Structure 1
Amino acid sequence: MLFPPRASASSAARTSRSNGSLSAQQALATLSVEYASLRSQSHCPIGMYVVPSVESMFVWDGVFFVHQALSYHSRAFGFYSRSSLRFRLTFNNYPEKAPAVHFITDVFHPLISQKDGLFSLAPRIPTWLPKEHHVFDVLHWIKTAFKRDALDRLKEKDCLNKEAYRYRETTSSFVALASQTAMLSQSPSALYDKDHPSLGGKGRGAIVFHKLTDRELQEMREEIGVQKWEIPSD
């Protein structure tokens, strides 16, 4: 979880005016509470960070660092291991309606549309229930959807990328394309260039990465008390 930049009074006013009604103010209060609740244990998945937009609390930007698999045949994150995936949550008529999730990073995945990056919640949350479902349920489903066990249980009717769904029948082809997603998501242009192409032309969002020099990296390691580590080869 990341703490958002402090929004100015004018940006808060723009949000209020653009959404207008008392219900929008209630939604804003609900989202503020939900964002604060991500501090609670297990609410924000490990490896995932989200931050509301400076312009509007109704748009959150996120990044998901997919954990490294223990082996090529791991039942966890083997297909998308080491990916750095940007996504965006958009809240319209929340909490009555589920947030829309769009991936900004180009991802070859059965649940992600290649047209605009829309992510399907249907396998985990087929019907959104305002009093039962919360933002953290959405975040945990995003993470789970990249695990091999979840991929194996998907049904074609819930998939927005039918080609990716059918590729599961040929595991080697699916692995190659999913691994390409991981490789491209780690490229310097994808991480650092503000003009890097994104799904649906959504830009890179509010979370910005800056490349550190070796000295800056060492100073940061010393500050937070971690040692240099190496990624083992497959």
Structure 2
Amino acid sequence: MASPTIDLSASAKSRPRPSSRVPSSNAVIPDQASPALTRTAVSLEYAALRYSGHCPLGMYVTPSTGDLLVWDAVFFVHQGYYADSILKFRLTFPPNYPERPPIVQFLTDVFHPLISQQDGTFNLAPRFRLWRPKEHQIFDVLHWVKAAFKKHALDDIKEADCLNKEAYRYHDTTSSFAALATQSSMLSQSASALFDRDHPSMAGKGSHSIHFRELKSEQLDNLRAKLGLQDWGEITIP
């Protein structure tokens, strides 16, 4: 018997848009909204992230403290148009997961064709045109999130899948897109975006479970010494 599938390719007019009211990390969802089977499936998938190749390099994920069905993540982009970006995002699992896919929402403002400028919703459709609950898993979703920031994926994005139509002009003028992507990267690294929990980009999205803390020079030196790390200035390349 074939596994059921969920079509993610319908137009925005014909399918309900994900709600921007994603539960905050401090919210507790009633038990009836997260049945035991769903919680078990999500728990097993989180445990599986420890296996080699499951969690993408440069990505850190943790369940929120108040709700197992909400995962908070940070993605450090290492190359491409968005190199050096530090992007916070969230996965919210539906009560009937894995029959339906999770909602992916970026909390950090980022200029990207697949990310809505209104609420940060990320479009899974280009990779999961049909969601197959017996085949697709969360590590597949995480790898697609990472791949979507690479050139080959950006080249293949169709205008119909874009939640940010302005960003689609990448296909018309690469230099203009590159400049806006670089600006987006720089803003994501700013002190206000990293350390300010009341940053405007977080409005209505709840708090994030992964916190960054600014360290003074002496604190950083002590931490490096404790971990046995060298200062960048002391590293020599043969």
Q: What letter matches 2:86 in structure 1? A: S
Structure 2 gap ranges (5+): 1-25, 234-238
Deviation string, structure 1 residues 32-70 (Cα, Å, up to 9, x no partner): 111111111011111101111111001111110111xxx
Q: Give the CA deviation at 1:19.
A: 3.6
> Please, what TM-score do these two structures have when normalized by structure 1?
0.83
> Does the 8 A contact of 1:117 with 1:199 survive in 2?
no
Instruction: Identify which of 74, 80, 84 aligns with 1:78.
Output: 80
> Does the 8 A contact of 1:63 with 1:85 survive in 2?
yes
**Counterpart in 1 of 2:49?**
38
SS at match of 1:138: helix
Deviation string, structure 1 residues 57-85 (Cα, Å, up to 9, x no partner): 01111110111xxxxxxxxx321010000
In 2 relative to 1, CA 94–85 (structure 1 residues): closer, same or farther, beyond 3 Å? same
Alignment length, in residue pairs? 207
Q: Give the CA deviation at 1:179.
A: 0.5
> Please, what TM-score do these two structures have when normalized by structure 2?
0.82
Instruction: Identify which of 32, 40, 43 aligns with 1:20.
Output: 32
1:87-166 to structure 2, matched below 5 A, reads 87-92=89-94, 93-166=96-169
**Counterpart in 1 of 2:195?**
192
User: Percent identity among equivalent residues?
Assistant: 58
Distance across 1 between alignment mates of 2:157 and 2:213:
36
SS at match of 1:89: strand
**Counterpart in 1 of 2:40?**
29
**Counterpart in 2 of 1:62?**
73
Q: Which consecutive segments of 4 or more residues in structure 1 shift more than 4 A?
A: none
Q: What letter matches 2:58 in structure 1? A: G
**Counterpart in 2 of 1:229?**
232
Q: CA RMSD in A?
A: 1.9
Q: Give the CA deviation at 1:24.
A: 1.4
Structure 1 gap ranges (5+): 1-10, 68-76
Q: Give the CA deviation at 1:199.
A: 5.9
Q: Give the CA deviation at 1:175.
A: 0.7
Q: Give the CA deviation at 1:228.
A: 2.4
